[in-house]
A and B are shown apart, each in its own frame.
Chain A
Amino acid sequence: MIEIEGMDVGVPKFAIGIDLGTTNCALAATPLDVKDAEPVSFPVPQVIAPSEVKSEGLLPSFLYLPAREELPRGALALPWAPMSRVAVGRFARDHGAGSPVRLIHSAKSWLSHAGVDRRGDILPWGAPEDVPKISPLDASARYLEHIRAAWDEAHPEAPLDEQEVVLTVPASFDAIARELTVEAAMQAGLPGSLRLLEEPQAALYAWLADRGSSWRKEVKVGDTLLVVDVGGGTTDFSLIAVRQSDDGTLHLERVAVGQHILLGGDNMDLALAHTVKARLASEGTALDDWQMRALTHACRVGKEALLADPDLAEWPLVIAGRGSRLIGGTVRTALQRAEVDRVLLEGFLPFVDASARPQQRRRMGLQTLGLPYATDAGITRHLAAFLGREGLDRVDPAHSFVHPSAVLFNGGVTRSDTVRQRLLSIITGWIEAEGGAAPTVLEGVHPDQAVSRGGAYYAHARSSGGVRIKGGTARSYYVGVEQAGLAVPGLEPDVDALCIAPFGMEEGSEVELPEPFGLYVGEPVAFRFFGSGERQADAVGAVLAPEALDELAPIEITLTADEDSPGGVVPVHLHARVTEVGTLELSAVEDGTGRRWKLSFNVRVE
């Protein structure tokens, strides 16, 4: 904040939460000078058809790169960018469905996919040579830039880069995906004072905002809250414990987060559409690609209608032909309740035991590098694996898994009562089988907007005080170090994984790896780098075999030669620090002098 001649320049006026979602983005804001103000969603102007701009509560996370003469000049004009040549939002999504080679979607999933070069120009994935491509990082930056520009246009007196901004990320994002998200945010012109917040925590903040001070009456010390977040493209679980502070007040602590699961409502719509398409094909009606898209859309509407009304037996599906002849070319069928029950409930939300685990289909031989979608669509099996994970505090040693005392549902799929009831009855069944009590449901959050609203609430709480969820790093991290031993020709030396950052490190804290290293000046050094969401007990310096861990992108460092160290070996210790923003920063610190070199993640893939 700078003060010039008594005028406040850059004093933040709003607490802002931005949800950068896989399929939709949203922004919510609340004025900082009002106590307990409710976060309000900000409608984002976007192109909805050529030359038509409309403000909507959600900005679909889609980017369309038109061919040079595909659209008339000015068709993609925005109030703040009359010369815009790309489309972001609803038109990009709707039009791009018909021209998928020019459509970028799921950029966020690509941003967390270690198998590709996330800074490389690879999207749209698999598009032909002459289609311009951009990186997952740039695509994410474009969505954020659109939101920033929209906000600035509407609030010239309070530009976004001067506000208190919280950007949400999936709890399952690893250190590298978080770092890339922050990089995209900086590229988009978000403020350097930005903070990251995990989405399930944001949803819980939205619930806290809705409840006000009465939340303390709805939960008690010792409770464990389960957040089930099933969005369009991803599923995310978190456990949050209710604990007592030394001064006797309640506080919340996020104790576990699930794996990154690429599975969500879009998969359900597609599964239903393929079921109907196969039935139509068996009756002799073939659908073309264009009709298939219309069918997928119709199935989404039908799914929501059938899930909302248990008395409906079927929902009519009518797929119009594409030409101007509407009546003759229309295909007519219905989405049967039995199909929804079989495909959606049995396929995605099967009744399974608490001991069930997702099936890991062994991937054979050649595999394309596309997004690593979940091989098992059974969300309940993923949930059972999460609650039954080794190392979680189960409170009672007789329990074979964590018994949550309350459940908070978030994400578009959980708008449906049937889906919520189904998930709740499955969890209740597991708990009652071990003699526990059924969990309650934390009601009142808007599944589409909870994350951005919760982000705004958190930004407000940070600056003016309010209940906070204690979290820290959601994973533990490890560096790979070669074991000393006789070299055997043709064999890679064995690697030990040393824990460099334990689970639950708080913002601003720093740890040092006791193991000393000698780094050669001027020579690039690379370490293998690993993470785990399941090993919460490992302390700094713990040594284990890397097979139990997920390998992330390698970390690199080159010590530059200078007057103090013209060459030779510099003795260093490795440090890990969690920044105020919420990213993990690794550095090498020279023994004695304390000089510091930052290690960087190398996301390039050869």
Chain B
Amino acid sequence: MQTQTLGFGARLALALTLPWRVLFDGRIAALVAQAAAGGPLALSAEPSPAPAAPEPPQALPEVVAEVAGPDYTSAMQVLAILQRDGRFIDFLHEDVAQFSDAEIGAAARVVHAGCKRALDEYVTIEPVRPEADGARITLAPGFNATQHRLTGNVVGEPPYTGELAHPGWRITRLSLPTLSPGHDATVVAPAEVEL
């Protein structure tokens, strides 16, 4: 048997699911142990014990998501939560041009109520500045430039005095549900089939 290499996406998927399978499938664990020890790889040659139920014949073609880079799992999880609770992806994926404002407004209530509930549950977001829009504020020398963006007539040295156009937002708490290992986070909404 020839040794083939896998693409990054497939490797990522394998890295995510393998620990789980090793933990709960003795056969896989034995094979991995064998491979790690430099033994001959025999994943396909191994005569597998007769499965209890036949595999479904019309399995969907395997889609390997191209999710590379750092761990994006929690980003995908946030999208899944917004879709689940607030139909966020459905809403953004619809062509709104053909609908009246009233129809879009009705749907927006679903999205607003659901996404707000989800956001409140998992994230606490506070304004960066406590003052209301339009308030006059002064930024002392050494002010936090990450928290403030200056526009307009930016001349001279601080202190700067100006009008608060937007009080900003910042996250003070973020707690997402724990995902079990092996969970395929790329499926942000499973297809629903009513039997």
A residues near B, CB below 8 A?
45, 48-54, 72-75, 77, 79, 82-83, 290, 301, 316, 318, 320, 322, 324-328, 330, 332
Q: How far is the CA of A25 from the CA of B113 in the complex (A)?
A: 26
Contact among B104, B109, B177 for A53, CB-based, below 8 A? B177
Query: When the two chains form their complex, are residues B103 and A52 in contact, meaning their CB atoms are under 8 A apart?
Result: no
- Residues of chain B contacted by A318 (CB below 8 angstroms): 106-107, 109-110, 113
Q: Are A327 and B96 in contact (CB under 8 A)?
A: yes
Residues of chain A contacted by B107 (CB below 8 angstroms): 318, 320, 326-327, 330
- On B, residues with C-beta under 8 Å from A are 20, 23-24, 77, 80, 84, 87, 90-91, 93-94, 96, 99, 103-104, 106-107, 109-111, 113, 177-184, 190, 192, 194
Central interface residue in B20, B104, B110, B180, by most chain A CB within 10 Å? B180
28 contacts between A and B (CB under 8 A): A48-B177, A49-B177, A50-B183, A51-B179, A51-B180, A51-B183, A52-B77, A53-B177, A53-B179, A54-B177, A54-B178, A73-B24, A74-B181, A75-B180, A318-B106, A318-B107, A318-B110, A320-B87, A320-B110, A324-B90, A325-B90, A326-B90, A327-B99, A327-B106, A327-B107, A328-B99, A330-B106, A330-B107
List 7 additional A-B contacts (Cβ < 8 Å) besides A73-B20, A320-B110, A322-B192.
A50-B183, A74-B182, A77-B180, A82-B23, A82-B24, A318-B110, A332-B109
Chain A residues positioned under 8 Å from B184 (CB to CB): 72
Alpha-carbon gap, A320 to B103, bound state (A)? 11
Q: Which residue of A lies closest to B94 (CB)?
A: A327
Q: Closest approach, in angstroms, between the C-beta of B165 and any C-beta of chain A?
A: 32
**A316 touching B177 in the complex, CB below 8 Å, given contacts A50-B183, A326-B91:** no
Chain A interface mostly: loop
Secondary structure class of chain B's binding surface, majority of residues: helix
Residues of A within 8 A of B182 (CB): 51, 73-74
Out of A82, A83, A325, A326, name the residue touching B110 (CB < 8 Å). Answer: A326
CB contacts (< 8 Å) of B20 on chain A: these are 73-74
State whether A326 touches B183 (Cβ < 8 A): no
Given the complex, which residues of A lie within 8 Å of B93, measured CB to CB? 324
Minimal Cβ-Cβ distance residue in B for A329? B107
Q: Considering the complex of A and B, which 5 residue pairs feature the smallest CB-CB distances, nearest first?
A: A51-B183, A54-B177, A52-B177, A332-B106, A77-B180
**B103 partner residues in chain A, CB cutoff 8 A:** 327-328, 330
With most chain A CB atoms within 10 A of its CB, the pick from B103, B111, B178 is: B178
A415 to B180, CA, bound (A): 35
Q: How far is the CA of A53 from the CA of B87 in the complex (A)?
A: 21
On whether the beta carbons of B87 and A326 are closer than 8 Å, the reply is: yes
Q: Say how far B118's CB is from chain A's closest CB, in angstroms.
A: 11
Smallest beta-carbon distance B57→chain A, Å? 14
**Chain B residues closer than 8 Å to A72, beta-carbon distance:** 183-184
Beta-carbon contact of A53 and B110 below 8 Å? no
